């Protein structure tokens, strides 16, 4: 169950980097089908299968929002551009 949660969280973080929130609907369906399939292959009780699928869905959503925050903070970081690059272009335009 922990491995499924970690994989779902990372999958959600990748989705959060690139896509809008609507991608969570098919993503949750895929994750829940895979979690149910993985739980059925091992003899577990029905409540265990439901708990694993629910944990996978929650971790997918949490990972998605973590991916959005990561994208937000990476976009807010100022670029490491040289201060001389702006000075050269402004000087050249001033001479003309």
Q: What are the tens digits of pLDDT across the range 7-59?
A: 899 999 999 998 888 998 998 898 888 877 877 787 778 888 888 889 999 99
pLDDT for the residue 81: 58
For range 68-78, the mean pLDDT: 83
Average confidence (pLDDT) over 56-82: 84
CA-CA distance, 60 to 53, in Å (whole number)?
Answer: 11
Nearest 5°: phi and psi at 77? Answer: -70, 130
Is the pTM above the cut of 0.85? no
pLDDT of residue 76: 76
Helices (H) and strands (E) counted in the chain, each on its own, are 4, 0
Nearest partner of 18 among 77, 67, 63, judged by Cα: 67
What phi and psi values does residue 53 have, to the nearest 5 degrees? -65, -40
Could you tell me the residue ranges of all domains in the chain? 2-95
Burial class (CB in 10 A: 0-12, 13-18, 19+), 31: buried
């Amino acid at each position: 169950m922990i491995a499924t949660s970690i994989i779902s969280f990372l999958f959600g973080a990748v989705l959060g980097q690139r896509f809008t929130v609507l991608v969570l609907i098919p993503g949750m369906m895929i994750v829940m089908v895979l979690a149910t399939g993985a739980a059925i292959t091992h003899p577990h009780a029905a409540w265990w299968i439901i708990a694993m699928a629910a944990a996978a869905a929650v971790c997918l959503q949490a990972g998605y929002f973590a991916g959005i925050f990561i994208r937000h903070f990476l976009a807010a970081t100022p670029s490491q551009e040289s201060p001389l690059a702006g000075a050269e272009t402004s000087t050249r335009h001033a001479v003309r």
